């Protein structure tokens, strides 16, 4: 951090590095950096030795402005390399390998002064002779459904320059193989070449739970890459996919009755006219009755076909039933007075219709 403080006595500006010591403890490492105001800072491993170096620009007391690169010499020592850069304030700066030669170059923009103020926007090419190589692709990929989404995980990987703890990870997810239309990786889908000079979207995570990825019938194709401290991306790990089972969403079953008082629906798993499925435990089954020909809905009676002792009587329409076990169900609804008929679950020409019921089921998270 850098900028203007407001203590009772000087110095009024400061630039500090706070080391994250975990558990919300941050410790000033006393890096001895030039104090700046109206400034900007950016980390990047310009010398490809695997540690993050620091560039900074700003005012050291207007109208004196500097732009500096501090090389990270480990153990909290940062050395000003006296790079010959235009000093600017009210500025912005950023690392990126614009010429694709595997070292980080620098872009700066801001205001400089030579008796009057001028704007500057410059790209500085890094002419060093130590070059970065990309990390190895992560392995150990896995995805499991969790709540209303998927949790993706992978194993840490390695890099020839950046220590494993300094690597970040970048996830992509698509609805077909080789795409990232669900969650963009902002990297070439074939090679992993990074289109943005940035750490990976998963940062240092080795697993990431993303909500909203639970569409029945959808298959999600995904991969992950590692990004090193010079912002180079590895190739993509071998693509994985996770498929949610397709669920039939609606069945409209016409009820026929001889005496137009009651209707029945009977899901027979052996009946080729109806999907031969069992409703799995946890499924929410919604039954909607649509009485026909002036009849009035009055009551549901729903059996568990596996256990005739389990049934639901309900006068609400629709009703929702959560399967307490894997079950086949059998339902009747009443739309008038009289006795129950043993009707067939098929639309039969010439039969009198009481109405129809629609079934809808969905997975519960
Ligand atoms: Ca470095
Ligand atoms: Ca470069
Ligand atoms: Ca270069
Ligand atoms: Ca590297």
Over its length of 365 residues, how does the chain's per-residue pLDDT go in tens digits? Answer: 999 888 777 778 899 999 999 999 999 999 999 999 999 999 999 999 999 999 999 999 989 999 999 999 999 999 999 999 999 999 999 999 999 999 999 999 999 999 999 999 999 999 999 999 999 999 999 999 987 799 999 999 999 999 999 999 999 999 999 999 999 999 999 999 999 999 999 999 999 999 989 887 889 999 999 999 999 999 999 999 999 876 544 444 444 443 444 444 544 444 444 443 566 676 677 777 776 666 677 777 776 666 667 777 888 888 777 777 776 666 666 665 433 333 333 332 223 344 555 555 554 44
Distance 235 CA to ligand 4 centre (A): 12
3-state secondary structure of 324: coil
Tell me which ligand sits closest to the C-alpha of residue 104.
2
Distance 185 CA to ligand 2 centre (A): 22
Distance 181 CA to ligand 4 centre (A): 28
- Which residues sit with Cβ closer than 5 angstroms to ligand 3, an ion? 101, 103, 126
Q: What pLDDT is attached to residue 323? A: 72
What's the predicted TM-score (pTM) here?
A: 0.70
Q: What pLDDT is attached to residue 115? A: 96
Distance 155 CA to ligand 1 centre (A): 25
Distance 52 CA to ligand 4 centre (A): 12
Q: What pLDDT is attached to residue 355? A: 54
Tell me which ligand sits closest to the C-alpha of residue 48.
1
Q: Is 189 buried (19+), middle (13-18) or exposed (0-12) by CB count in 10 A?
A: middle
- Which residues sit with Cβ closer than 5 angstroms to ligand 2, an ion? 97, 99, 101, 103, 105, 126
Strands 78-80 and 65-72: antiparallel
3-state secondary structure of 269: coil
- The CA distances from residue 13 to 35, 109, 226, 327, 354, in Å, are 5, 21, 37, 71, 83
Distance 58 CA to ligand 2 centre (A): 24
Q: What pLDDT is attached to residue 247? A: 58
Tell me which ligand sits closest to the C-alpha of residue 47.
1
Q: What pLDDT is attached to residue 313? A: 81
b/e 129-144 (16+ beta carbons within 10 angstroms → b): eeebebbbbbeebebe
Distance 46 CA to ligand 3 centre (A): 9
Q: What pLDDT is attached to residue 345? A: 35
Distance 126 CA to ligand 4 centre (A): 16
């Amino acid at each position: 951090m850098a900028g203007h403080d407001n203590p009772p006595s000087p110095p009024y500006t400061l630039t500090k590095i706070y080391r994250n010591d975990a558990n919300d403890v941050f410790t000033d490492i006393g890096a001895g950096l030039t104090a700046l105001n109206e400034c900007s800072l950016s980390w990047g491993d310009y010398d490809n030795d695997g540690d993050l170096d620091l560039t900074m620009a700003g005012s050291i007391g207007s109208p004196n402005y500097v732009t500096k690169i501090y090389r990270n010499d480990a153990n909290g020592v940062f050395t000003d390399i006296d790079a010959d850069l235009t000093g600017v304030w009210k500025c912005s700066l950023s690392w990126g390998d614009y010429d694709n030669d595997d070292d980080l170059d620098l872009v700066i923009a801001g205001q400089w002064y030579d008796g009057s103020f001028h704007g500057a926007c410059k790209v500085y090419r890094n002419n060093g002779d130590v070059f970065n190589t990309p990390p190895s692709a992560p392995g150990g990929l896995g995805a499991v459904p969790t709540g209303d989404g998927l949790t993706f995980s992978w194993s840490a990987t390695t890099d020839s320059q950046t220590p494993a703890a300094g690597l970040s990870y970048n996830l992509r997810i698509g609805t077909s193989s080789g795409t990232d239309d669900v969650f963009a990786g902002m990297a070439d889908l074939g090679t992993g070449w990074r289109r943005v000079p940035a750490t990976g979207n998963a940062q240092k995570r080795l697993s990431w739970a993303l909500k909203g990825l639970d569409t029945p019938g959808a298959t999600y194709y995904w991969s992950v890459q590692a990004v090193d401290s010079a912002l180079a991306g590895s190739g993509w790990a071998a693509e994985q996919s996770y498929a949610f089972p397709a669920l039939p969403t609606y069945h409209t079953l016409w009820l026929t009755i001889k005496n137009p008082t009651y209707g029945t629906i009977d899901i027979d798993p052996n009946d080729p006219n109806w999907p031969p499925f069992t409703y799995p435990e946890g499924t929410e089954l919604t039954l909607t009755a649509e009485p026909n020909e002036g009849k009035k809905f009055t009551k549901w009676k729903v059996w568990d076909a596996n256990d005739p002792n389990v049934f639901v009587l309900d006068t609400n329409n629709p009703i929702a039933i959560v399967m307490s076990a894997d079950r086949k169900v059998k339902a009747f609804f009443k739309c008038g007075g009289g006795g129950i008929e043993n009707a067939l679950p098929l639309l039969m020409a010439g039969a009198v219709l009481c109405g129809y019921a629609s079934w809808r089921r969905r997975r519960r998270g």
